[in-house]
Structure formats: C-alpha cells, structure tokens
Amino acid sequence: RPLDINIELPDEQSAQKLKIGIYFATWWALNVVFNIYNKKVLNAFPYPWLTSTLSLACGSLMMLVSWATRIAEAPKTDLDFWKTLFPVAVAHTIGHVAATVSMSKVAVSFTHIIKSGEPAFSVLVSRFFLGETFPLPVYLSLLPIIGGCALAAVTELNFNLIGFMGAMISNLAFVFRNIFSKKGMKGKSLSGMNYYACLSMMSLLILTPFAIAIEGPTMWAAGWENAVSQIGPNFVWWVVAQSVFYHLYNQVSYMSLDQISPLTFSIGNTMKRISVIVASIIIFHTPIQPVNALGAAIAILGTFLYSQAKM
Ligand code: 3PG
C-alpha cells in the first residue's frame, strides 16, 4: 500500500470521507443481518460446518455469475497468484468455520466479545513469530483487552468450552490470514472485491471435504427435515439470507480495505462488533449480568486504546 501523500482538495477529501463512511455503515449493517440469520439457522439446524460451506458456496456462485454476465470484470490471475492465495485461504477457512462452530455453541454476543480480543493475538503473533517489537503503550493496551475478555468469559452465564475455543481459534487464524493477505496482495492489481471472490472459491474447495467428513449428508438430511418441521418452509430463506449476507459483508469489508489503512480497518472492525453485540443481545434476549457487560466494555475499550497506541 503506497503512502497516502497526495494533496487532495477539500471537496475531494469530504467526498472520500463520505465514501468511507458509506462503506463502514454498509459493512456493519450487512454484518448484523448475517449474524442474526446465522444464529437463527444454527439454533434450528446445528450444523456449522455445512452453514459455513454454504456461505462460501453462495459467495462463489454470486461472483461467478457476476463475472459471466460482466456485472463485474473477471480478474486475470496466474498460478503464482493461486499459490500465494493458498495459505490465506487455509487461514480464512479455519477462522470462518471456528467462528461458526463457536456461534453454534454460545450466544452471538459472547463469540464477538472474545473476537474483540483479536488485536492481542495480532501483537503476540507479530512479536513471537515475526520478531516485531512494539512501543510499551501497545503492550499495555493488551492488559484491558485480555483482562476484559477473561472477565466476560468467566462471568458468561452460558459458557461453553467449544464456543470459547472456537472464537479463540478464529482470532488466531484471522491474524495469520491478515499477515498472509498483506503479502499476497503486494504488487497485485486485483480489486478488493475480486481478491475476496478468489479467496471464497479456494476456501470452499478446502472446506467441502472436511464438512462432508465431519458432519456429512446423512446428518444434514435428518437435521434439515427437523428444522423445516419446526420453522416451516421459510427456513430455506434464512439459510439463503445468512449465506448471501456473509458474502456481501466480507466483500464490502475487502472493498473498504482497498481505501483505508489496516489500522483504520481494525478500528472499524471493533465498532462493527459493538453493533453486533448490542443488536444480538436485543434480538435474542441474551441474559447478561452487569459484571459480564463490564468485561465486554473493558475489552472493547482496550482495543480502542490499542489502536491509539499503534497510531
Ligand atoms: C465468520 O463466520 O467468518 C465469522 O463470523 C467472521 O467474523 P468476523 O468477520 O466478524 O471476524
């Protein structure tokens, strides 16, 4: 990413700010809708490996149709591109399926509280795997992040170890995805939208055999029948909604990553989690204790302090 040192006129600056504002608002709104439908589907049909696969399949199909009908221009890629994309796709697949497994076991708000700890993973991975060092305030900002997440976890009314571990694994996988992604995007002329489309397709190929081995068609058929008998024929639209919105929110987030620095992106991501936590607590009537909410607030405050310290 080149340094943004071009001189912009005030009109251009406000147009750019407006554009980024629209990207952010769209990204958060799509994400809230995804999280609500995803949880509604998982409550009736607890097969996160299949729902994760369907999200990727739906996005891949949407992009193939967009390329075929020339709504979007198909990217020009070579073998080298797909090779560099492979580790990104492995990390994306693990992060995605782990978050979905987590949400199938615990409240959406709990998964996202733990996921707000992602900056702590980012610093620790960069420190211990890449040997990067950071100024003291960055390390200090990890204390409220880790402390807040820990407080929220120990006071969570419906704590579940798989749910907790899923969110932690997702954090770790997404940190690696972001590191590999930065390397993979360097010098490539792909737009954020097409980069994410290729990522979805490769992740779909990686995830499908695991989903079949871990859950499989027999379980899915019985689960589907049960879900349709509980919810009615509308269930299929819930599945469509979670899959379409998953693709759209990720596509918009990759499109905004094209326009902003990774740091602004991570602040946007934390604010996105606040909207999801609040919306899901209201919609699902999630029981929370004051001390639990305090833990979440401390963790989120920590991520803001982290972004300030990184600036
Ligand atoms: C997923 O299913 O991939 C997760 O819900 C992603 O979470 P995030 O995009 O909010 O990190």
Domain ranges of the chain: 34-310
ipTM exceeding 0.90? yes
> What separation in Å is there between the alpha carbon of 7 and the centre of ligand 1?
36
Mean pLDDT of 76-100: 95
Sequence-distant (≥ 6) Cβ neighbours of residue 70 within 8 angstroms? none
- Establish whether residue 99 lines the binding site of ligand 1, counting it when its CB lies within 6 angstroms of any ligand atom: yes
> What separation in Å is there between the alpha carbon of 226 and the centre of ligand 1?
27
> In this model, does residue 2 exceed pLDDT 80?
no
pLDDT of residue 1: 45
Query: Residue 123 to residues 95, 140, 148: CA-CA distances in angstroms?
Result: 17, 11, 17
Structure-model confidence comparison of residues 184 and 193, the more confident one: 193
pLDDT of residue 6: 55
**Rounded Cα distance, 172 and 159, in Å:** 20
> What separation in Å is there between the alpha carbon of 111 and the centre of ligand 1?
10
**Rounded Cα distance, 254 and 159, in Å:** 32
Structure-model confidence comparison of residues 307 and 214, the more confident one: 214
Three-class SS state of 132 = coil
Mean pLDDT of the chain: 92
* Closest residue to atom 9 of ligand 1, CA basis: 250
* Closest residue to atom 5 of ligand 1, CA basis: 99
Neighbours of 280 (CB within 10 A): 22
Q: Which atom of ligand 1 is nearest to the CA of 55?
A: 2
pTM: 0.91
pLDDT of residue 79: 94
DSSP letter, residue 52: H
> In this model, does residue 30 exceed pLDDT 80?
yes
> What separation in Å is there between the alpha carbon of 251 and the centre of ligand 1?
12
* Farthest-apart Cα atoms in the chain, separation: 61
- Establish whether residue 96 lines the binding site of ligand 1, counting it when its CB lies within 6 angstroms of any ligand atom: yes
